[in-house]
A and B are shown apart, each in its own frame.
Chain A
Amino acid sequence: MADVKKVATRQSYGEALKELGAEKADLVVLDADLANATKTDIFKKAFPDRHFDCGIAEANMMDVAAGLSTMGLVPFASTFAMFASGRAYEQVRNTIGYPHLNVKIGATHGGISVGEDGASHQCCEDFALMRTIPGMTVLCPSDDVEARKMVRAAYEMEGPVYLRFCRLATPVIHDESYDFHIGKGEVLTEGGDVAVIATGIMVPEAVEAAKLLKEKGVGAMVVNMGTIKPLDEDLVIRAAQKCGRVVTVEEHTVIGGLGEAVCGVLAEHCPTPVKRIGVYDEFGHSGPAGALLTAMGLDAAGIEKATLAFLGK
């Protein structure tokens, strides 16, 4: 992996906003004093009159975005995932979700891979919180290419979208020909022994884990689930029917995220044993992102180990 190109999806977010901004005059960007961390400063440099800094006031920012959207603009409201989904949850729920306004929430610094800042900034609850809002679309890109395509897809659909990006630079696994559609997962590797359904920066790790599993004689069908909601239920069921065992992997608490979304679908339509890999009801802590992910079993080796244990091998 040493020579693999790595890009942080927050960087992709900023660049995609700039590219889209050149085409769409109604696209505006809001930030809460984090523009050089969320990377909306890339957009700001290109379109300073369309970038509104709201200061350190995320609740106000979300509702300002709601107001802007009613005027026919398409606001991307940006801050860290912790504040977008946590601090401003009720603003997003009542004032963006309930009226189903055309607001896009660009949440960076999702998950444990925030690293050194520690638990206060490591948001592992955002999928769970955002999934509960009726009509909310929830996206999490696996790499730079998918992130940029997601920003465009979010702009092009009508209605609220939550996009989760990461701080850490991670491998680029797609080329530009990749075609992203909201609500559709992607099969990355074929295999018949276990389905590994992953999202976000866990996807490249799952692909690497599949290689390790193959060496042990286990065929893994790796699925990139970029859309957390609406979930690609057909693909989940198809993967379960084919493999008979399902592993989910997310940089998120196992409570209420991708894993439980998959479990919900399978419990109702195709009961199948599932192993949820994620953060197990605990807070993170400070440390280098890579070391933290390894310590929490959220890397290729950890996924391989948990999968083999799940399969009784």
Chain B
Amino acid sequence: MTDKERKELQIMATRVREGVLTATHGAKCGHPGGSLSAADVFTYLYFREMRIDPADPRDPDRDRMVLSKGHTAPGLYSALANRGFFPVEDLATLRHIDSYLQGHPNMNTVPGVDMSTGSLGQGLSVAAGMAKGAKFLGKDVNVYAVLGDGEIEEGQIWEAAMFSAHYKLDNLCIIVDLNGLQIDGPTAQVMNSAPVDEKFAAFGCHVVVADGHDYDALEAAFARFHANHGSGRPTAILVKTLKGKGVSYMEGQVGWHGKAPNDEEYAQGMAELAAARAALEVE
């Protein structure tokens, strides 16, 4: 990755984060914390990694992404909007009664959303079904599933992991957002899912650990995924992140899991992100 490419991704990530704030502020509810922790992953996926075309969102040969931690729809929607799947201005209508931007991802109303999700623990199974389907049909399609570290407390995740290894789904990339916080508090205290790396390894995955806010680390991690094609094993990329990343008063604060910024907080957050973007643009 060149310096210019890295900077472009970092600048885009600030726009994705601005969209998260705009969407949740407009909704007066929603989930900014986990949207911001995964914003760099969303940006990397939609602006560098996935083979997709906003002009043809239903292309049968496109790569797929299943947002298993569906409550972070503001992050996914913002990435899709900034990628050109629908107007960025529409993000402010999130969760409104007449909006197509449903509170959790809806594949039938939102262009670019590959699967309706929201009920935790199910997305990895769907992604495995997609990956199995792609292999059955002989299609060169990669499937990405983004999971939360609280979400992996759901037993179905491990049913899906077992299935994925059993059926040798090396076209499946599992991404776990290790932001360390869930609604009731730190994941280590609510229900300790650690060691996540050993669990996925024991279930038959190639495990890669990366800094989820470092684009060089993400590039290296996804390169491992591509190198694993042909190995007959799925890849699990565990990304270490900071919940609320990029907005000072949200960073590391469990209270911002599912709360929208008020007008004042919104203005402050947008100013911080604009300043970060300006700094990147002049560098």
User: Which residues of A are interface residues toward B (Cβ below 8 A)?
Assistant: 28, 49-50, 52, 54-55, 57, 59-60, 62-73, 75, 90-91, 94-95, 98-100
Distance (Å) between the CB of A270 and the closest chain B CB? 36
Whether B125 sits at the interface, judged by CB under 8 Å, is yes
Instruction: Please give, as numbers and ranges, the residues of chain B lying within 8 Å of A54 by CB-CB distance.
Output: 163
Of A50, A63, A72, A99, the contact of B125 (CB 8 Å cutoff): A63
Of B106, B133, B136, the contact of A70 (CB 8 Å cutoff): B133
Q: Please tell me if the beta carbons of A55 and B163 are within 8 angstroms of each other in the complex.
A: yes
Q: Please tell me if the beta carbons of A60 and B156 are within 8 angstroms of each other in the complex.
A: yes
Given contacts A57-B159, A90-B119, A98-B116, contact A73 B136 (CB under 8 A): yes
Given contacts A60-B159, A99-B107, contact A68 B133 (CB under 8 A): yes
Instruction: Please give, as numbers and ranges, the residues of chain B lying within 8 Å of A70 by CB-CB distance.
Output: 64, 107, 114-115, 126, 129-130, 133
Q: Which residues, 124 to 153 on B, are CB-close (under 8 Å) to A?
A: 125-134, 136-137, 139, 141
Given contacts A54-B163, A63-B156, A100-B108, contact A91 B122 (CB under 8 A): yes
Q: Please tell me if the beta carbons of A63 and B122 are within 8 angstroms of each other in the complex.
A: yes
Alpha-carbon separation in the docked complex, A60 to B128 (Å): 9
Of A52, A67, A100, the contact of B115 (CB 8 Å cutoff): A67
Q: Which residues, 181 to 223 on B, are CB-close (under 8 Å) to A?
A: none
Instruction: Please give, as numbers and ranges, the residues of chain A lying within 8 Å of B167 by CB-CB distance.
Output: 52
Instruction: Please give, as numbers and ranges, the residues of chain A lying within 8 Å of B258 by CB-CB distance.
Output: none
Q: Please tell me if the beta carbons of B116 and A99 are within 8 angstroms of each other in the complex.
A: yes
The 10 residue pairs across chains A and B that have the minimum distance between CB atoms: A67-B129, A71-B133, A63-B125, A60-B159, A64-B129, A57-B159, A67-B126, A67-B130, A99-B116, A68-B133
Q: Please tell me if the beta carbons of A60 and B163 are within 8 angstroms of each other in the complex.
A: yes
Alpha-carbon separation in the docked complex, A60 to B125 (Å): 5
Alpha-carbon separation in the docked complex, A59 to B125 (Å): 9
Q: Please tell me if the beta carbons of A28 and B136 are within 8 angstroms of each other in the complex.
A: yes
Distance (Å) between the CB of B95 and the closest chain A CB? 17
Instruction: Please give, as numbers and ranges, the residues of chain A lying within 8 Å of B163 by CB-CB distance.
Output: 54-55, 57, 60, 64
